[in-house]
Amino acid sequence: MTRRDCEVLVLGAGPAGIAAACCAGESGRQVILTDENPACGGQIWRAQRGAMHTRADVQHAADLWLTRLGRCGASVLSGATAFDADAALHFVRFETDRGVEEIHYSALILATGARERLLPFPGWTRSGVYAAGGLQALVKGGFRIDGQRILVAGTGPLLLAAAGMLGAHGGEVLMILEQAGWRSLTRFGLHLAGFPDKLLQAATLMVQAGVVPYRPGWWVCEAGGNGPLEWVAITDGKRTVRVDCDMLALGYGLVPNSELARLMGCRTTGSSAAPGAHFVDVDARQKTSLDGVFACGEITGIGGAELSLAEGSVAGYAACGHWHEVDRVAPLRNCLARQVHAMDSAFALRDELRAAVTPDTLVCRCEDVPAAELAGFGSWREAKLGSRCGMGPCQGRTCGPAVEFVWGWSAESVRPPITPVRLGSMSDQP
Ligand SMILES: Cc1cc2nc3c(=O)[nH]c(=O)nc-3n(C[C@H](O)[C@H](O)[C@H](O)COP(=O)(O)OP(=O)(O)OC[C@H]3O[C@@H](n4cnc5c(N)ncnc54)[C@H](O)[C@@H]3O)c2cc1C
């Protein structure tokens, strides 16, 4: 095991972590920025530089911040997966291809972002069914979708971004199903009227998605075919219709990657609008409930890349004790943060989505556990012990939030490793 020391350790190199590293680095601190991915940029800017069909505003922001990162003096450690941490001893442990690295810090900034939420329904594990962001990532990596008939479904503004991107890469996007109804969307639209930039962004996304039919109040209830996906059954709760397609891109909002924060003992709060999401609590300076530990970006609330950047800037300066800089950047953060609540309530998951789960529906795809096997259990712990639900390679990262939404059971504790690692990494102790 290798040991390193730094003044500020930033975990996660998405917009939030990059902004935090820039602000701390420019303040003269010795900073290490880490990410499990081979390149910086997080979910939105990954593989962005020189990529085709990138929105101009996204490209511009990526160029600006990645250039600033290159000049701020922070060391970047890519390909390093954080799997264990100790808040009392001030270290985080990473698995890298060179072995385990233990990084000791004076201040820690958690910016581990969010992942997509998938909900179970008959056929959701069939070949041809993708997470919308996952499909986007594959396409960015060179996966060809020319001429494929794609249905995009789920909830939230990311569906529009996904549809626009998939269409621009040659996919034939048939329709976008938004589970939220017209009433919620109208309320959200009225709220956006107070934020002209966001309204413009929403309009741009709508234009980029093209002339694709947009159906609020509709959702997917089955994905079928002889082997790979051939059709999808969609419903508005009254009618059910079959649509022939080759691919289904799904996204039921985002769930924060707050496992490391929870393992360290940071206080988190659940969301009634989005069961299964445990957001890290922070104060006005992005400080968590633990001394010397800050959090920023989508682990503290889902609000988009601009909010992540603003929170990251506050966290970076706060970790250095530069309060005048914190006061300078905090107003933008406060203004952008007002959208989080509006988005949460507009895109809250509807109860009917639970009804799509039949007894045969696979809930845990790692361990092949159907819904019927969960009957009779009263908690996530009981279900894990009795059925192995959530005990496979993803350790409940996918089925956990789904189980919390459908059955209302949440994980009581988080234990290391927070993500699968080699056995050797677990036994490699200082
Ligand atoms: C799948 C997906 C697709 C998206 N697509 C779009 C889009 O097309 N358009 C758009 O406007 N917004 C998109 N978003 C939203 C956008 O990505 C976010 O608003 C923004 O990136 C949040 O920034 P962040 O820094 O908080 O988190 P992220 O960008 O998620 O960055 C977090 C980083 O932490 C790293 N990390 C997490 N856990 C660990 C660990 N244990 N060890 C090491 N590193 C770790 C991750 O690898 C990641 O790079 C998408 C989000 C997701 C999840």
Tell me which of 103-107, 154-158, 251-255, 393-397 is least confident: 393-397
CB 405 within 8 A of CB 119: yes
User: Would you state the structure tokens that stand for residue 286, as one six-digit string?
Assistant: 């992005």
Distance CA 83, CA 130 (A): 26
How many CB atoms neighbour CB 396 within 10 A? 21
Q: What is the mean pLDDT of residues 71-84?
A: 97
Does the N-terminal peptide bond of residue 417 adopt cis geometry, omega within 30 degrees of 0? yes
Domain ranges in the chain? 2-115+255-345, 118-252, 358-407
Residue 247 has pLDDT above 90, yes or no: yes
- Cα torsion 402, 232, 156, 181: sign: negative
Distance CA 87, CA 263 (A): 9
Residue 63 has pLDDT above 60, yes or no: yes
Q: What is the mean pLDDT of residues 68-92?
A: 97
Whole-number percent of the chain with pLDDT over 70 = 95
409: Cα within 13 Å, side-chain hemisphere: 20
CB 313 within 8 A of CB 19: yes
pLDDT 10s digits, 284-306? 999 999 999 999 999 999 989 99
Residue 51 has pLDDT above 60, yes or no: no
How many CB atoms neighbour CB 239 within 10 A? 8
Looking at ligand 1, which atom is closest to the CA of residue 16? 25
Distance CA 212, CA 191 (A): 24
Domain 118-252: CATH superfamily is FAD/NAD(P)-binding domain (3.50.50.60)
Residue 267 has pLDDT above 90, yes or no: yes
User: Would you state the structure tokens that stand for residue 242, as one six-digit string?
Assistant: 């079959």
Residue 218 has pLDDT above 70, yes or no: yes
List phi, psi (to 5°) of 48.
Answer: -85, -40
- Whether 2-115+255-345 shares its CATH topology with 118-252 is answered yes
Looking at ligand 1, which atom is closest to the CA of residue 298? 26
Contacts of 404 (CB under 8 A, 6+ apart): 275, 276, 380, 410, 411
Q: What is the mean pLDDT of residues 234-252?
A: 97
240-244 β-sheet, strand order: 219-224, 231-235, 240-244
CA of 238 to the centre of ligand 1 (A): 36
Longest distance between any two alpha carbons in the chain, whole Å = 63
Q: What is the mean pLDDT of residues 337-353?
A: 86
pLDDT grade for 341, boundaries at 50, 70 and 90: confident
Q: For residues 151, 172, 42 and 297, what is the CA-based torsion angle, rounded to 10 degrees?
A: -50
Rounded (5°) CA angle 268-271-274: 130
Instruction: Report helix angle 305-319 to 56-71, nearest 10.
Output: 20
Q: Which of 9, 32, 43 to mutate to test the pocket of ligand 1 (most atoms within 8 A of CB)?
A: 43
First to last CA, the chain: 6
* DSSP state letters, 330-375: HHHHHHHHHHHHHHHHHTPPPTHHHHT--TTSEEETTTTEEGGGGT
Tokens 């880490």 belong to: 34
Kind of pairing, strands 81-86 and 149-155? unpaired
Please report the pLDDT score of residue 207 as a whole number: 67
What stretch of H or E contains 317?
helix 305-319
Residue 195 has pLDDT above 90, yes or no: no
DSSP label at residue 51: -
pLDDT 10s digits, 351-376? 999 999 999 999 999 999 999 999 98
* Listed residue (392, 89, 85) closest to 260, CA to CA: 85
* Listed residue (310, 410, 317) closest to 61, CA to CA: 310
pLDDT grade for 25, boundaries at 50, 70 and 90: very high
pLDDT, averaged across the chain:
92
For atom 33 of ligand 1, the residue with the nearest CA is 12
Looking at ligand 1, which atom is closest to the CA of residue 131? 1
CA of 305 to the centre of ligand 1 (A): 9
Ligand 1 pocket member 37 (CB < 6 A): yes
CA of 257 to the centre of ligand 1 (A): 9
Domain 2-115+255-345: CATH superfamily is FAD/NAD(P)-binding domain (3.50.50.60)
pLDDT grade for 210, boundaries at 50, 70 and 90: low
CA distance readout (Å), 338 to 3, 290, 333, 417: 41, 25, 9, 35
Ligand 1 pocket member 115 (CB < 6 A): yes
Looking at ligand 1, which atom is closest to the CA of residue 46? 49
Distance CA 255, CA 299 (A): 8
Distance CA 166, CA 149 (A): 10
Looking at ligand 1, which atom is closest to the CA of residue 12? 34
Residue 211 has pLDDT above 90, yes or no: no
Q: What is the mean pLDDT of residues 139-158?
A: 94
User: Would you state the structure tokens that stand for residue 241, as one six-digit string?
Assistant: 């219709």
For atom 26 of ligand 1, the residue with the nearest CA is 297
Residue 27 has pLDDT above 60, yes or no: yes
Ligand 1 pocket member 42 (CB < 6 A): yes
DSSP label at residue 297: G
Q: Which of 112, 169, 260, 307 to mutate to test the pocket of ligand 1 (most atoms within 8 A of CB)?
A: 112
Sequence-ordered alpha helix ranges (H) in 141-177: 158-168
Rounded (5°) CA angle 170-172-176: 125
Looking at per-residue pLDDT, the higher value among 314 and 375 belongs to 314
Please report the pLDDT score of residue 140 as a whole number: 84
Whole-number percent of the chain with pLDDT over 90 = 74
